[in-house]
Amino acid sequence: MNRGLRTLVGAQFLSAFGDNAVLFTVIAMSLQAGGRGAWYIPALQSAFLVAFVTLTPWVGALADRYPKPRVLLAANLIKVLGALAIFMGVDPLLGYALIGVGAASYSPAKYGIIPELTETQNLVRANGWVEGATIAAILFGTVAGARLADRSIDGALLTVMVLFLISGAATTFLPRGPSRPPLASEKPAWSNLIAWMKDLLSSQRARLILLALSLFWACAATLRVVLVAWAPEVLGSQSASDIADLTFFMAIGIVVGAALVPRLIPLDRVRRTRFSAYLMGALFLLLALVHDLWTAKLILLCIGICGGIFVVPLNAAIQETGHATIGSGSAVAVQNFFQNSAILISMGLYSLAAARGVSSIPTILGLGILVCLMTLIVAWRLPKVPAPRHRP
């Protein structure tokens, strides 16, 4: 790695670490307060995701129009404001929503600057470093944030703000790179996104794969939030650290599954992912029956492995289809829109169910049944041979 790429990887690690640490800080606040209902945590996650859905058409153009280091710095400062608002006593729903605005703005600039920092032949390796930093930040930010918050909420929030500021300061050392002024003939952002959707969704294979990916991330995100209610209810967990340990095992499983899948499922055999999805659904059902901590951790690890095996080939299939039609970057934008919309809907539904008194165990059972049923539908309709591809 050159110095610019090392700087980006370090800034990304700190920023993503803070994103996950602040989530478990707010979870700790909720557990310690005891007055908020089970609906509050899924509502919190929904507040974070609203920006990822509503700002999708604009954040990519923003990253192209202005120097990307400036966008990365601004995004980190927005995150600082969100954490500061929580620290000052503003409802965490509002503060975490503001952090979501920063995160949504940060993502396209983070990926868009990589080609400006390295040669074309090193792009895959560079993306791997950035993704590795993100995964490490999710793992360590989840655990460290929960442990800090169990000791001191104020201390955890101050630590998060310092991390965002250091990350923002680091981005000022990145090369500014080119900016692109708006074109006179440029379409409105939503028009572009809708056009990309129409082109990509004209393929039955792409439609079904997007459905499967959206389902996976919606169920994974919902399970992560359901664990906040399930762990105290079933395992007797009383701290954010205990809950963070459970999500840590699921995240480790996704990393393991992603590492294993290239040996198991080549791109032209993407239908094989259905077997890992069926097993994942069965593991959801088994988790609902468990009352032992280490058995639960083992099942969550296996759910993560199945998830990694399931999602990586489907991501590659969408990128391949997008590259041959609307372009891989546009396909990723469409994919992110559908996935974040699905997560937002699932969070909203779970929040409503929790507010009406539905407990965590029926929710986990419902997730398992949904995974198995939707996998059966997608596998039945997904073409065995990809349709011929073309770029218009």
| SS3 sequence of 55-92 | CHHHHHHHHHHCCHHHHHHHHHHHHHHHHHHHHCCCCH
The distance of Cα 317 from the centroid of its chain, to the nearest Å, equals 19
Confidence of residue 389 (pLDDT cuts 50, 70, 90): very low
Q: In the predicted model, is pLDDT for residue 390 greater than 60? A: no
Q: How far, rounded to the nearest angstrom, does the alpha carbon of residue 36 sit from its chain's CA centroid? A: 25
> Residue 259 corresponds to which tokens in the numbers above?
């590492």
Q: What are the angstrom distances between the C-alpha of 148 and each of 28, 98, 237, 287?
A: 10, 22, 17, 28
Q: Is the dihedral of CA 108, 112, 114, 117 positive or negative?
A: negative
Q: Could you tell me how many residues make up the chain? A: 392
Nearest to residue 2, comparing CAs of 166, 132, 125?
125
CA nearest neighbour of 69 among 38, 106, 18, 39: 106
| Over residues 57-61, mean pLDDT | 75
For the chain, give the percent of residues with pLDDT over 70. Answer: 86
Please give the Cα distance from 222 to 156 (Å, whole number).
25
Distances (CA, A) of 247 to 133, 264, 297, 304: 18, 25, 9, 10
Reduced to 3 states (helix: H, G, I; strand: E, B; else coil), residue 202 is coil
Q: With 0-12 CB in 10 A as exposed, 13-18 as middle and 19+ as buried, what is 356?
A: exposed
Question: What mean pLDDT is predicted for residues 364-371?
Answer: 90
Report the helix count and the strand count for the chain, using DSSP H and E: 15, 0
| CA–CA gap between residue 52 and residue 184 (Å, rounded) | 27
Q: Tell me the pLDDT tens digit for each residue of 83-137.
A: 999 999 999 999 999 999 999 888 878 877 877 887 766 765 776 677 778 878 8
Q: All domains of the chain, ordered by start, with CATH? A: 1-176 (1.20.1250.20), 189-385 (1.20.1250.20)
What local confidence, expressed as pLDDT, does residue 89 receive?
A: 92
Query: What is the reported pTM?
Result: 0.77
Classify residue 279 as left (phi > 0), alpha (psi -120 to 50) or beta.
alpha
- Nearest 5 degrees, angle CA 253-CA 28-CA 103? 65
Q: Are 138 and 221 in contact (CB under 8 A)?
A: no
pLDDT top residue among 335 and 123: 335
In the DSSP assignment, the letter for residue 138 is H
Q: What tokens were used for 208?
A: 């079904």
Rounded to an integer, what distance in angstroms lies between the CA atom of residue 225 and that of residue 47? 13
Cβ(57)–Cβ(190) below 8 Å: yes
One-letter amino acid of 323:
H
> pLDDT tens, 261-310?
777 777 667 777 888 889 999 999 999 998 889 999 999 999 989 988 88
| CA angle, 343 then 212 then 244, to 5° | 45
Closest to 103 (Cα-Cα) out of 219, 12, 222, 166: 12
Percent of residues, the chain, with pLDDT higher than 90: 24
